[in-house]
Structure 1
Amino acid sequence: MIDREDLIRSIREYHEQQAAPPFVPGVTEIQSSGACLDADDKTALAEAALDMRIAGGALAHRFETSFARKLGMRKARLTNSGSSANLLAITALTAPELGEARLRPGDEVITCAAGFPTTVNPILQNGLVPVFVDIDEHTYNATPESIAAAIGPRTRAVALAHTLGNPFPVAEVAELCGAHEMFLVEDNCDAVGSSYRDRPTGTFGDLSTVSFYPAHHVTTGEGGCVLTDSLALARIVKSLRDWGRDCWCEPGESNRCGRRFGYQLGGLPYGYDHKYIYSHIGYNLKATDLQAALGLSQLAKLDDFVIARRRNWTRLREGLDGAAHLRLPEPTPGADPSWFGFALTVAPDAPFDRYAMVTFLESRRIATRSLFAGNLLRHPAYAAVPHRISGDLTVSDHVADHTFWIGVYPGITDEMTDYMISSIREFVATHTRSPSPTSSAEDSR
């Protein structure tokens, strides 16, 4: 008979035998992001697989509780992606239970044009109108001033992401939302572990969202989460995630409320099975215990991951300080970011452009990424969507034309970081080298 403990021990030994190949500059790819998985992660997945944890259950609930506690929030709702988390967060604000405060079609939500589409898409998918504001050229985030200037008669909410892990001034934005009776949805997908004024990001909004995709701070493979301190909003999110049903039993439960056949809701007869009564037009956006098992293992390493991200970002920042024709990123004053990436913006008057620089770095096996959409309104999908622009989008356009980012995730070593620094400096030096006197004389003939 095969012993379970021997099997798990063999998986751990197998992992430990798979030595990582040495870094070879120009040959080994330096990814912009990626998951850092160890023997504990593999054995956690194996344990869940052996128990056939193929749907959401006890491990998913445990991960929700652990993650909410880690961020200091009352409730977390695990879902199948960060994009789904954003959809659930915005949709929850349209629920009838919120009464006069709920969002209705045509209401406005302030957001950024420079970001990832799924921060904005749920606004449109719920019949709401995005109001786009520009960003600060140093932090790549919206400012409280730009948000205040964008508020109109139908503005009811703000939905913003912390760009590349760098917090926007979320305390000031939350205060502004409170003064104008607006909801705040805090997209924390890139910023788990960041803080603003010594308070974790993801704890300021009425709702906040997280992604557990492999590129992010901890991973469940695919996965995401909605967090809130509001028990009412948490229940709405859970219903929307779980087909829209009114019942709040966990998977496998049948009568948590003690009155499964004791309800009369809507036009249904008294005693209709509560497990099949629907109070929202919902989805199935649940995650599995297999994903939660990996998440619990990853969560134990979050603090170390954050330290590594900050170390890699600082090493890049110090190594590239003073590089000609490049604007380097700046943390938001009062913030301690858990960085997702390191942004570089090529000056408009540089003797090279972003394309040339990115092409060079990619040829060196240094992965690059654009700053997400750059300016979302320049993309084909958004050419005709209903929207309003407050002010102009000058910096967003500049980002679309001149900005990219490179990686700082924990799998990047000091040797890799130093290679990125030397490659960038070599490119800049080569393209800004003054012509020799002889060449100038020949050129003038």
Structure 2
Amino acid sequence: MTAPTLDATVPQERRLVTEVPGPASRSLMARKLSAVAAGVGTTMPVFAARAGGGIVVDVDGNQLIDLGSGIAVTTVGASAPRVVEAVQEQVAAFTHTCFMVTPYEGYVAVAEALNRLTPGDHAKRTALFNSGAEAVENAVKIARSHTGRQAVVVFDHAYHGRTNLTMAMTAKNMPYKHGFGPFAGEVYRAPLSYPYRDGGTDGVVAALQAIDVIEKQVGAANLAAVVIEPIQGEGGFIEPAAGFLPALATWCRDNGVVFVADEVQTGFARTGDMFACDREGVVPDLIVTAKGIAGGLPLSAVTGRAEVMDAAHVGGLGGTYGGNPLACAAALAAIETIEAEDLVARAREIEAVLLDRLRRIEARDARIGDIRGRGAMVAVELVHAGTDVPDPELAKAVATAAHRQGVIVLTCGTHGNVLRFLPPLSISDELLHDAFDVLAATFEVTR
């Protein structure tokens, strides 16, 4: 594969020059606490000054290995050269006109690229928005317009966003929903295939169980859309057993229900395919994308079958900033980077490194209950040794210890007991091995 292009101004090595957090970060954190709303939390008490490739440099000069990619956003690497250049050119031309007032080519070009890249060879249309949650809401609007129905089905452990409708669709209460109700109605929850915790139930059998719940509690005649993450993100990187997604998609097609794939976290080469649905040949009616779409700029999209996407009336879709020209320029550059550097293949190489290193840790640590995921989207579920009881305290302890040694690691899961690894696809094997040397030592000291 083509060697990734990196920001040469940021050396690709972990380096600690102060404790983490250092004095400059601690000073900024004091300012943050006095100026920023308390509800806006941070994973690490470290402030970024620069970032490039797989390294984040903090304000104290510490260089941290990034295994989070800003929650799967900087998939092509932080400050990816093509993205930087494209945004610089666009910002010099114009920053905003609003596509709904005076449109511009960048929006159309992004729509054309997404229509080409997303699963299926049918006629497609795309609409652009700002965030993943906003795109999920618009997918529901489109499905309701197309079907004339109201109900929406989501799944156990799902995460779809922080807006009112997407909070209703999200499963986890704290911190996403607690105290923020009442939530939007006509949202129903079905059981998900969760191989580690359902005894390895066959995917088709698990789908039939979910469909039985849907038919009894909602009824296909009332259902506008089934919305599912092909691999769950915040819910714990849960990958349904093989056959689960195709069986659901078939049932939706047979019953006139819009099948919506929420690929906000899984899209754009992250899972070793351009989209996670590709692995089983699932073709959703609508696919929702964001995060890795634009190399760090805010952009999201709903792409899908032309007859479904065109159901909404003129003026029914849009938003002042949706498809902002800077974000569109970044998206085209990010897509070019993914294709030119074959980052789909690179994601699979990263998967091999991550799984090998995690299995070595698992071989000597009974607190690792499960290793799962694909591509550069891999996780470990931590439990109390000899049981399947979640151990969120261990996940927090490992992540915190890794942070102090200059490795950015995120947690997730309904119980908070999952460590997730989302490195940028431009990261080197050397950085990955250094990071996992730190993690292996961290597991040892937390026994």
Please indicate, yes or no, whether the TM-score normalized by the shorter chain is above 0.5: yes
State whether structure 2 residue 356 is matched by structure 1 residue 318: yes
Contact 1:209–1:226, Cα closer than 8 Å, also in 2: yes
1:330 alignment partner, SS class: strand
CA pair 330-62 structure 1, distance change in 2 beyond 3 A: same
Contact 1:202–1:209, Cα closer than 8 Å, also in 2: no
* Aligned twin of 1:109: 153
CA pair 146-223 structure 1, distance change in 2 beyond 3 A: farther
* Aligned twin of 2:129: 79
Letter in 2 for 1:403: V
For 1:17 and 1:430, locate their aligned partners in 2 and report how far apart those are by CA, in whole Å: 34
For 2:259 and 2:409, locate their aligned partners in 1 and report how far apart those are by CA, in whole Å: 31
* Aligned twin of 1:410: 425
Deviation at 1:228, TM superposition (A): 0.5
For 2:321 and 2:280, locate their aligned partners in 1 and report how far apart those are by CA, in whole Å: 24
* Aligned twin of 2:186: 128
For 1:112 and 1:189, locate their aligned partners in 2 and report how far apart those are by CA, in whole Å: 17
- Flag structure 2 segments of 5+ consecutive residues without an equivalent: 17-61, 170-181
Deviation at 1:201, TM superposition (A): 7.9
CA pair 181-229 structure 1, distance change in 2 beyond 3 A: closer
Contact 1:80–1:222, Cα closer than 8 Å, also in 2: yes
CA pair 200-312 structure 1, distance change in 2 beyond 3 A: closer
Contact 1:72–1:203, Cα closer than 8 Å, also in 2: yes
Letter in 1 for 2:262: D
Between stretches 202-211 and 296-305, larger displacement belongs to 202-211
CA pair 78-220 structure 1, distance change in 2 beyond 3 A: farther
Contact 1:171–1:196, Cα closer than 8 Å, also in 2: no
CA pair 218-137 structure 1, distance change in 2 beyond 3 A: farther
For 2:89 and 2:314, locate their aligned partners in 1 and report how far apart those are by CA, in whole Å: 27
Deviation at 1:72, TM superposition (A): 4.9
Contact 1:89–1:185, Cα closer than 8 Å, also in 2: yes
Contact 1:40–1:297, Cα closer than 8 Å, also in 2: yes
* Aligned twin of 1:147: 210
Once the two structures are superposed, the pairs formed by residues 93-242 of structure 1 within 5 Å of their partners are 93-95=143-145, 98=146, 101-104=147-150, 107-117=151-161, 120-121=166-167, 123=169, 127-138=185-196, 143-151=206-214, 152-155=216-219, 156=223, 157-162=225-230, 163-164=232-233, 168=240, 169-192=244-267, 193=269, 194=273, 199=278, 204-211=283-290, 213=291, 216=292, 218-219=294-295, 221-236=297-312, 239-242=315-318
State whether structure 2 residue 333 is matched by structure 1 residue 297: yes
Q: TM-score, normalised by structure 1?
A: 0.66
How many residues matched? 337
For 1:184 and 1:30, locate their aligned partners in 2 and report how far apart those are by CA, in whole Å: 37
Contact 1:110–1:147, Cα closer than 8 Å, also in 2: no
Output one character per residue of 1:344-391: Cα deviation in whole Å (capped at 9) or x when no partner. Answer: 1112227982232222212222222222xx33xxxxxxxxxxxxxxxx
Percent same amino acid at aligned positions?
A: 13
2:109 alignment partner, SS class: helix
For 1:159 and 1:348, locate their aligned partners in 2 and report how far apart those are by CA, in whole Å: 33
Q: Which has the larger radius of gyration?
A: 1
1:199 alignment partner, SS class: helix
CA pair 403-431 structure 1, distance change in 2 beyond 3 A: same
Deviation at 1:153, TM superposition (A): 4.5
- Flag structure 1 segments of 5+ consecutive residues without an equivalent: 1-14, 243-282, 332-336, 376-399, 433-445
Deviation at 1:315, TM superposition (A): 0.2
For 1:167 and 1:238, locate their aligned partners in 2 and report how far apart those are by CA, in whole Å: 37
Q: TM-score, normalised by structure 2?
A: 0.65
* Aligned twin of 2:139: 89
For 1:298 and 1:18, locate their aligned partners in 2 and report how far apart those are by CA, in whole Å: 18
Contact 1:346–1:353, Cα closer than 8 Å, also in 2: yes
Contact 1:63–1:296, Cα closer than 8 Å, also in 2: yes
Deviation at 1:418, TM superposition (A): 0.8
